[in-house]
Structure 1
Amino acid sequence: MKVAQVDVVYGAGSTGKIVKAIHDHLLDVGHDSKVFYGRGPDEGEPNVSKISHDLEVFVDAGLSRLTGYTGVFSPMATNKLLASLDAFQPDVVHLHEIHGYFVNYFRLIEYLKKRNIPVVWTLHCEMAYTGRCGYAFGCDQWKTACQKCPQLNDYPRSLLFDRSAVQFERKKNLLSDMDRITFAPVSNWLHDRLTQSFLKNKQATVVHNGINTAEIFYPRDTADLVRRHQLEGRYIALSVAPDLMSERKGGSWVLEIAKRSLGKPITFVMIGVVEKLTDLPPNVIVLPPTRDQNELARYYSLADVFLLTSQSETFSLTCAESLACGTPVIGFDSGGPAEVAPRPYGYFVPFGQVEKLASLLLDGYRGELPIAGDDECVKYARSSFSNERMCEDYLNLYEESRRHV
């Protein structure tokens, strides 16, 4: 079987790691696989092609902000992708995140429709059924028709114009008559949202994301990290995101809880901070983002609890990674994470209720939270979120999509 994957990134970030895992698995079991991605370094791997030039991405982002339209620019990258697909002649095209200023996704979908190519589209976010945004948060206009978007200043940012109504109708018209497509929401929570959108009658199967539980995300020795950061006798709460201080990831909530925890032997380790923070509480250690997955696994293993403060997550790969390293989760109930880490592997409170989350953390520190131990977390994560399980699920979905007419 010949499978082509399209994503904004490859090998890095949550979706990029998933794409690489699927690609490697397909090659290992004898299928013909190619990946086309838009942003990041040129990896130089066989059968993996970066289709965009950084300058074109920059121009696409600028035009999107000026005009309010998204997913309609990048003509050179789009032409390169469509020509590559013509040359490869895939049996199935697997779409991931096709926004991100690197391709005209309206042209891409029209191409796939015209050639009647079976499509599997993994929904990592909500962009497929909204007028413009990847995370609708509290807005529910997408259930009927987007208009007067309340999130124009959020990604994908528009400086002047609100095109949400136009783009919503165009997506609806584009996808409504597309028959050979199967959506793969990454959580039951996202699947429920899908069934309330204009895509409610489309074929959809939940496929939980996978992680490398065999070679990367497993419990590690962390004695050197304890010495490096002087953490002897400390209870450690870890938070991780590439953009941890963004509003969606909620790093400011971590700092608030840290301030409330002063005087307790609790240290907060924040990985993914690029900003210069002032008035940093003395019980907080901030570290930059890392692409070193082995280093990340060591920090997961170091922590006593993983602290999630996101406003919205359709799955939360970091929760799965933490569990695989033996560390349970507490956080805000923000969509998919409570499904990834159900009790006793995780405990969640309503978003924004910082007092309750701080109290939950203290219960964990005092040993008063009936939370799963290290071995239980590892066993659960390996059985639920291995790359092998995810890849086999997608292989089955590819076969089903080829039969679906």
Structure 2
Amino acid sequence: MQDRPLRILLLSTSDLGGGAAEACRRLVEAFAGLCYVEVRLLVLHRGSDLSQVGTVASTPLRKLKGRYYFLSERLEIYLRNGRSRHDLFRVSTAHYGFDVSKHPWVKWADVLHLHWINQGFLSLSSLERLSTLGKPIFVTLHDLWMATGICHLPLEFSQDSGATLCPHYEQGCGFCPLLRSTVQEDLSRQVQRTKGFLSGEMFHYIAVSRAEARLFSRSPLMRGRPAPIVLPNPIDLELFSPDRVKEEVTYEWHSPRTRYLLLVAARLDDEVKGGRLLREICTHLRADAPELAEELCLLLVGTIKEPTAFADYPISTRTLGSIRDRRDLAMLYRLSSVVLSTSVYETQGQTLVEGLAMGTPAISFACGGPEDIIHDGENGFLIPPFDTHLYAQRLAQLLRAREAGGFTPSICRQSVQGFAADAIAVQLLSLYEYALSLSIPKS
């Protein structure tokens, strides 16, 4: 046993914005509340004022260096994908990034825990050097990049089927559709070959859903190693609590006669988020239940790069942009009748958990992570992919059931108690300690 607290270092590209950043910050706060651990978070882009957070871009020169790494990787991909911007951010090579293996915080730590580390933060060579330090390295899989060649999700998208598994994923990549490649020995296969060290025994992988764990294990890189541990991203059940949100509503657009549907995403018009499917759902809802559709307003939280993406919708819509203050987001969950996900794939589905914690039921396609969150008919509905007509019918059913007293806030909130940040932190601590016990030389 150590005679000092366990030292944990989390690493993430940023500490604000997106699911990985939120998960990291919640873990920092949860670990900070434990007397027998010390925790720090090392990032590239620092946005919060938490004292435990530090950045590798600590000087103007290092900030410029981070920008150079980011732009160099994007240029490399752009030149290899037929000069297309469409899929530019669906892939990462990690050929460029900081080497943190000699960073003072890395030396300080007993355990390293990686989250999302792409787009100029850590390079593959840096990851390989970390693996030689003799410290357990935990990796939370916010996507599947660790198991692929270069893509973050090994999926192909189409207008008809939504999303299907890339046929090259289980074959060691090559012929990469995101590169428009017609050869096997392309950039995706070359990068996957250099990732071989990621299957080493120093790496301990954590999937945020059972579906993600299954998909991860199908990678040629990860065959023969234990299946990843399944442990969801944490949420702050104290913040996302109906008891913490004031009843007074200050939004000028709010009307007590309107029922609100809420969709939250970092980027709403990303095709993974299913904007086309959402439009079809609203069209079916308008056709099948026109009186109900008149009472609804779709609230959209997140960035929209294509201004016409949500124009001329079949039901009323209101775009609210990105919301950084989690208290404002909690209020929106509380005001809404249903939290929606129309994604074609989700590794977890954190917004669904947050909404349920606020007592609001959820509806989603059965597309990965939501299958671990929604208990069909109890706290919402799971819809077979990608039946938009059935989705619209179940949405109408859910709204009417809520009006009749069903899908109560207490049932919804109770369904996500296992996602509490303090509970997840304690489970992680047990995993860290076990990994450390395996690395202690026996006398």
TM-score, normalised with respect to structure 2: 0.81
When residues 208 and 282 of structure 1 are mapped into structure 2, their CA distance, relative to the original with a 3 A threshold, is closer
Query: 1:243 and 1:18 mapped to 2: Cα distance?
Result: 18
Residue 67 of structure 1 and its aligned partner are, at CA, apart by 4.9
2:140 aligned with 1:122:
yes
Which AA in structure 1 matches 2:141?
A: L
Query: 2:235 and 2:393 mapped to 1: Cα distance?
Result: 30
Residue 62 of structure 1 and its aligned partner are, at CA, apart by 2.7
Q: Which residue does the alignment assign to 2:89?
A: none
Q: Which residue does the alignment assign to 2:302?
A: 272
Which AA in structure 2 matches 1:21?
A: R
Query: 2:170 and 2:335 mapped to 1: Cα distance?
Result: 42
Which AA in structure 2 matches 1:266?
A: L
Q: Which residue does the alignment assign to 1:55?
A: 67
Equivalent in 312, 322, 326 of residue 355 of structure 2 = 322
Structure 1 unaligned spans of 5+: none
Query: 1:86 and 1:325 mapped to 2: Cα distance?
Result: 37
Kindly indicate whether the alpha-carbon contact (under 8 Å) linking 1:245 and 1:252 is maintained by their aligned counterparts in 2: no
2:277 aligned with 1:245:
no
Q: What SS is found at the alignment partner of 1:93?
A: strand
Kindly indicate whether the alpha-carbon contact (under 8 Å) linking 2:138 and 2:204 is maintained by their aligned counterparts in 1: yes
Kindly indicate whether the alpha-carbon contact (under 8 Å) linking 2:360 and 2:409 is maintained by their aligned counterparts in 1: yes
2:176 aligned with 1:149:
yes
Query: 2:118 and 2:79 mapped to 1: Cα distance?
Result: 17
Which AA in structure 2 matches 1:61?
A: R
Q: Which residue does the alignment assign to 1:375?
A: 410
Describe the superposition over 1:346-395 as per-residue Cα deviations: whole angstroms up to 9, x where unpaired.
Answer: 312223321111111111223299963111111222x2111111111111
More moved, 267-276 vs 123-132: 267-276
When residues 88 and 217 of structure 1 are mapped into structure 2, their CA distance, relative to the original with a 3 A threshold, is farther
Kindly indicate whether the alpha-carbon contact (under 8 Å) linking 1:94 and 1:120 is maintained by their aligned counterparts in 2: yes
More moved, 196-205 vs 27-36: 196-205
Which AA in structure 2 matches 1:379?
A: Q
Describe the superposition over 1:185-222 as per-residue Cα deviations: whole angstroms up to 9, x where unpaired.
Answer: 11111112223223243343211111001134436345
More moved, 95-104 vs 62-71: 62-71
Equivalent in 90, 93, 97 of residue 116 of structure 2 = 97
Residue 281 of structure 1 and its aligned partner are, at CA, apart by 4.4
Query: 2:318 and 2:283 mapped to 1: Cα distance?
Result: 13
Q: What SS is found at the alignment partner of 2:434?
A: helix
Kindly indicate whether the alpha-carbon contact (under 8 Å) linking 2:285 and 2:393 is maintained by their aligned counterparts in 1: no
Query: 2:359 and 2:421 mapped to 1: Cα distance?
Result: 17
2:384 aligned with 1:345:
no
2:156 aligned with 1:132:
no
More moved, 188-197 vs 276-285: 276-285
Percent sequence identity is: 22
2:264 aligned with 1:234:
no
Q: What SS is found at the alignment partner of 2:297?
A: strand
Q: Which residue does the alignment assign to 1:36?
A: 42
Which AA in structure 1 matches 2:95?
A: V
2:145 aligned with 1:110:
no
Which AA in structure 1 matches 2:280?
A: E
Which AA in structure 2 matches 1:376?
A: I
Describe the superposition over 1:161-206 as per-residue Cα deviations: whole angstroms up to 9, x where unpaired.
Answer: 94111112221x2223x21221111111111222322324334321
Q: Which residue does the alignment assign to 2:198?
A: 175
Kindly indicate whether the alpha-carbon contact (under 8 Å) linking 1:120 and 1:401 is maintained by their aligned counterparts in 2: no
Kindly indicate whether the alpha-carbon contact (under 8 Å) linking 1:180 and 1:404 is maintained by their aligned counterparts in 2: no
Residue 229 of structure 1 and its aligned partner are, at CA, apart by 2.2
Equivalent in 183, 193, 215 of residue 193 of structure 1 = 215
Kindly indicate whether the alpha-carbon contact (under 8 Å) linking 1:345 and 1:371 is maintained by their aligned counterparts in 2: no
Kindly indicate whether the alpha-carbon contact (under 8 Å) linking 1:221 and 1:301 is maintained by their aligned counterparts in 2: no
Between Structure 1 and Structure 2, how many residues are aligned? 389
Query: 1:375 and 1:42 mapped to 2: Cα distance?
Result: 34
Residue 235 of structure 1 and its aligned partner are, at CA, apart by 2.6
Kindly indicate whether the alpha-carbon contact (under 8 Å) linking 1:323 and 1:345 is maintained by their aligned counterparts in 2: yes
Residue 280 of structure 1 and its aligned partner are, at CA, apart by 4.2
Q: What SS is found at the alignment partner of 2:146?
A: helix
Query: 2:33 and 2:246 mapped to 1: Cα distance?
Result: 30
TM-score, normalised with respect to structure 1: 0.88
Residue 148 of structure 1 and its aligned partner are, at CA, apart by 0.8
Residue 398 of structure 1 and its aligned partner are, at CA, apart by 0.7
When residues 370 and 179 of structure 1 are mapped into structure 2, their CA distance, relative to the original with a 3 A threshold, is farther
Equivalent in 338, 343, 361 of residue 395 of structure 2 = 361
Q: What SS is found at the alignment partner of 1:367?
A: helix
Residue 70 of structure 1 and its aligned partner are, at CA, apart by 1.0
2:418 aligned with 1:384:
yes
Residue 273 of structure 1 and its aligned partner are, at CA, apart by 4.1
Kindly indicate whether the alpha-carbon contact (under 8 Å) linking 1:310 and 1:334 is maintained by their aligned counterparts in 2: yes
Structure 2 unaligned spans of 5+: 1-5, 58-62, 82-91, 156-163
Residue 223 of structure 1 and its aligned partner are, at CA, apart by 5.0
Query: 2:213 and 2:170 mapped to 1: Cα distance?
Result: 14
Query: 2:203 and 2:191 mapped to 1: Cα distance?
Result: 20
